[in-house]
């Protein structure tokens, strides 16, 4: 099994549902923080996207001014250009040393040979990557995403969130047609407003949760266990603390929660310190899990063995007739490591832990300084310029 911290959306402080109460339709929920609207502010309802408060960040941080942002875009272009040059015709990327800031990461795939158009996949983590700590998407990121979409590139939300918590984010950034990876790779969805629910699951990986829940329950008996039921919410052994889930929660017995195959298991110990929690999880030994990582809080996601965002994206790329050489991935969490290593260009946010940065090809600024937007703008600038120059050479 693979364990990772979950990315938990938060409800608005006022007007939100209480524990166990259901939100309305995804496009009718109340906002978290300041009101948020979709790309058409005159017609779109407010969204509850949840905050990215799982990591420490500077309260009241301000975005970069225009000059500083332009410099950041230019610097990210300088970091990407050598990676493009290294993956010239016939080039194969091999293992490299761990990354320093802006340096090469642990890329072992076929190199990075992107071209603007539908073959280019841009996989984006949600919390701490496109959403800030208040659950907002910046104007710069909206603009960068719109610019990228106009080239025909496919933006894929790739998150540890549930389907229910991911859909408002995808819709908010303009992704209503396309693809989405949820539950850390256990679920892959096709988005299409013409479908009955606006989406359908095209790949679902499940496992029997009985052994892992029983083992972790012995180590942490006071923990809250939950399993996701796609499009419905979570079955839980107790209600989660207020604000940690926007999905519906239904309290069930231990026997019921282990009675069916699931896409993931969540363990939460809200009263336990992270250090103690980590030690108790490790004490369960390799017979319970083969690998795991623990984030900023006492929260774990247990996924099917061998499943990650990378495996889901690899399957999606194959379905679309492309491969890792045409994929850009941006993330900030330990559940993004495999994705960053697999993608042709893996980008770690500036707020990421060192283990995540070491797995990336380049490092950008944090979410509150529009690090993701800067990479996307730099990429479009580079590829547009190179395409234009190539066309000019052909005319000579």
pLDDT digits (tens, 9 = 90+) for 196-224: 999 999 999 999 999 999 999 999 999 99
Q: How confident is the model at residue 39 (pLDDT cuts 50, 70, 90)?
A: very low
Which domains are assigned to the chain?
66-86+97-205+307-395 (3.40.50.1000), 206-303 (3.30.1240.10)
pLDDT at 100 > cutoff 70: no
* Runs of H (alpha helix) within 3-114: 66-86
> Please, what's the b/e burial string for 340-366 (b: 16 or more CB within 10 A of its CB; e: otherwise)?
bbbbbbbbbbebbbeebbbbbbbbbbb
Residue located via tokens 């540890």: 160
For the cut 60, the answer to whether the pLDDT of residue 342 exceeds it is yes
Give the per-residue pLDDT at 235: 96
The values of phi and psi at residue 382, to 5°, are -60, -50
- Per-residue confidence (pLDDT) for residue 9, from 0 to 100: 34
Concatenate the DSSP letters of all residues of 233-265 into one string.
EEEESSPPPTTS--S-EEE--HHHHTSS-BS-E
Q: How confident is the model over 116-147, as pLDDT tens digits?
A: 999 999 999 999 999 987 889 999 999 999 99
Residue 369 confidence class, pLDDT cut points 50, 70, 90: very high
Alpha-carbon distance of 352 to 366, in angstroms, equals 8
The pairing of strands 178-182 and 187-191 is antiparallel
pLDDT attached to residue 48: 53
Q: What H or E segment, with its residue span, contains residue 363?
A: strand 362-363
pLDDT of residue 247: 87
CA atoms of 323 and 84, how far apart (whole Å): 16
């Amino acid at each position: 099994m693979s364990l990772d911290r979950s990315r938990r959306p938060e409800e608005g402080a006022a007007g939100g549902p209480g524990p166990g109460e259901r939100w309305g339709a995804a496009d009718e929920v109340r906002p978290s923080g300041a009101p948020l609207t979709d790309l058409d502010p005159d017609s779109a309802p407010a969204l509850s996207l949840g905050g990215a408060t799982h990591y420490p960040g500077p309260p009241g941080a301000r975005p970069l001014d225009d000059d500083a942002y332009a410099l950041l875009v230019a610097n990210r272009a300088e970091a990407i250009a050598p990676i493009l040059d290294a993956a010239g015709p016939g080039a194969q990327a091999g293992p490299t040393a761990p990354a320093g800031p802006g340096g090469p990461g642990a890329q072992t795939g076929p190199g990075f040979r992107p071209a603007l158009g539908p073959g280019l996949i841009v996989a984006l983590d949600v919390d701490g990557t496109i959403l800030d700590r208040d659950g907002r998407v910046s104007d710069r990121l909206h603009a960068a995403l719109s610019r990228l979409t106009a080239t025909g590139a496919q933006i894929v939300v790739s998150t540890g969130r549930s389907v229910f918590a991911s859909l408002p984010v995808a819709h908010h950034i303009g992704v209503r047609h396309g693809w989405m990876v949820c539950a850390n790779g256990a679920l892959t969805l096709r988005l299409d407003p013409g479908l009955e629910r606006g989406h359908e699951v095209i790949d679902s990986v499940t496992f029997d949760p009985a052994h892992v829940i029983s083992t972790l329950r012995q180590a942490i008996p006071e923990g809250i266990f939950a399993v996701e039921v796609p499009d419905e919410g979570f079955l839980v052994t107790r209600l989660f603390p207020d604000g940690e889930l926007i999905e519906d929660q239904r309290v069930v017995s231990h026997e019921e929660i282990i009675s069916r195959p699931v896409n993931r298991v969540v363990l939460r110990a809200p009263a336990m310190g992270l250090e103690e929690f980590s030690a108790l999880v490790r004490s369960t030994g390799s017979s319970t899990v083969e690998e795991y990582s623990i984030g900023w809080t006492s929260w774990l996601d247990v996924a099917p063995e061998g499943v990650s965002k990378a495996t889901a994206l690899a399957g999606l790329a194959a379905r679309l007739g492309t491969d890792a050489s045409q994929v850009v991935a941006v993330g900030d969490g330990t559940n993004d490591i495999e994705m960053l290593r697999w993608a042709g260009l893996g980008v770690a946010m500036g707020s990421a832990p060192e283990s995540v940065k070491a797995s990336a090809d380049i490092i950008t600024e944090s979410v509150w300084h529009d690090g993701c937007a800067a990479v996307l703008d730099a990429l479009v600038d580079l590829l547009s310029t190179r395409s234009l120059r190539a066309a000019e050479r052909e005319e000579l």
